[in-house]
């Protein structure tokens, strides 16, 4: 499966990260979490105290050094030689990433890095992989799930045992920002295979993806 390029897109809590990792492990190819790459530079932006000044953010980001380890067992990200992986799931970082990801110049800077990560193949998951980053991917999947299921999964990611107001607000806001942003909004590629994980186990959803890949 060397050289195989697979694009996975979908909203927050749909299960795309879990499936992306599992698929990469099964196929023995690299795994790239593009959302983590945006969160990494957003962490740096926040750490530098740059909040809403787009020009300053763009100038700052374009001088950052971003490095990743495309490992499905533990995807890691370094910014200016600092391993920021363990900080990326903090709610504040996620909210900053939603803002930073709307900036056209930041996305233009990021896309070549993401494409380079898949130069020899790999599973890339995010919001605009099949439509912008890898429009020529060998396979494209759009992962979705009903809202209640996504909120439960998001609550677990945020360290909550149940859905609370913070989770509801987070999911709604991320859905709004991702689907309505002007540049590279979240939307399925026209040739993407849709998988609804609402009532499926990871194994069942992964099986559908593998069936599609083995069919061709």
- Classify residue 27: in a domain, yes or no: yes
Report phi then psi at 166, rounded to 5.
-60, -40
Domain total of the chain = 1
Cα separation values, 124 from 3, 51, 56, 212, Å: 13, 28, 29, 17
Range of the domain at 28: 5-204
Give the sign of the dihedral formed by CA 84, CA 86, CA 88, CA 93: negative
Q: What is the pLDDT of residue 2?
A: 65
pTM of the model: 0.92
E strands present in 57-168: 66-69, 76-79, 82-83, 122-126, 139-144
33 closest CA partner among 63, 65, 64, 76: 76
pLDDT band, very low/low/confident/very high, at 57 (cuts 50, 70, 90): very high
The C-alpha atoms of residue 68 and residue 36 are separated, in whole angstroms, by 10
Residue 161 lies in a domain: yes
Name which of 8-12, 112-116, 132-136, 154-158 the model is least confident about: 154-158
Name the DSSP letter for residue 86: G
Say if 152 falls within a structural domain: yes
Q: Is residue 56 part of a domain?
A: yes
CATH of the domain at 137: 3.40.50.300
Q: Which stretches within 48-146 are classed as H helix?
A: 54-61, 91-100, 104-117
Residue at 88 is within a domain: yes
Q: Is 118 among the domain residues?
A: yes
Nearest to 121 by CA among 133, 138, 105, 100: 138
Give 156-165 pLDDT, tens digit per residue.
Answer: 877 887 888 8
User: Would you say residue 172 has pLDDT above 90?
Assistant: no
User: According to the model, what pLDDT value does residue 1 have?
Assistant: 59
Note whether residue 212 is domain-resident: no
SS3 category, 204: helix
Q: Is residue 134 part of a domain?
A: yes
């Amino acid at each position: 499966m060397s050289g195989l390029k697979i694009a996975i897109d979908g909203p927050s809590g749909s299960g795309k990260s879990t499936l992306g990792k599992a698929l990469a492990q099964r196929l023995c190819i690299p795994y790239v979490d593009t959302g983590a790459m945006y969160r990494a530079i957003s962490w740096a932006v926040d750490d530098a105290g740059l909040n809403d000044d787009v020009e300053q953010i763009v100038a700052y980001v374009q001088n950052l050094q971003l490095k990743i380890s495309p490992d499905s067992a533990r995807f890691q990200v370094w910014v200016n030689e600092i391993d920021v992986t363990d900080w990326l799931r903090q709610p504040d970082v996620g909210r900053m990433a939603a803002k930073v990801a709307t900036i056209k110049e930041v996305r233009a800077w990021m896309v070549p890095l993401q494409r380079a990560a898949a130069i020899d193949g790999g599973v890339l998951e995010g919001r605009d992989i099949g439509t912008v980053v890898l429009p020529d991917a060998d396979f494209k999947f759009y992962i979705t799930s009903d809202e209640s299921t996504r909120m439960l999964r998001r609550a677990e990611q945020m360290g909550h045992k149940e859905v609370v107001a913070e989770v509801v607000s987070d999911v709604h806001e991320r859905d709004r920002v991702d689907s309505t942003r002007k540049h590279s909004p979240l939307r399925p590629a026209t040739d993407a295979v849709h998988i609804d994980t609402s009532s499926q186990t990871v194994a069942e959803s992964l099986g559908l993806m593998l069936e599609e890949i083995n069919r061709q």
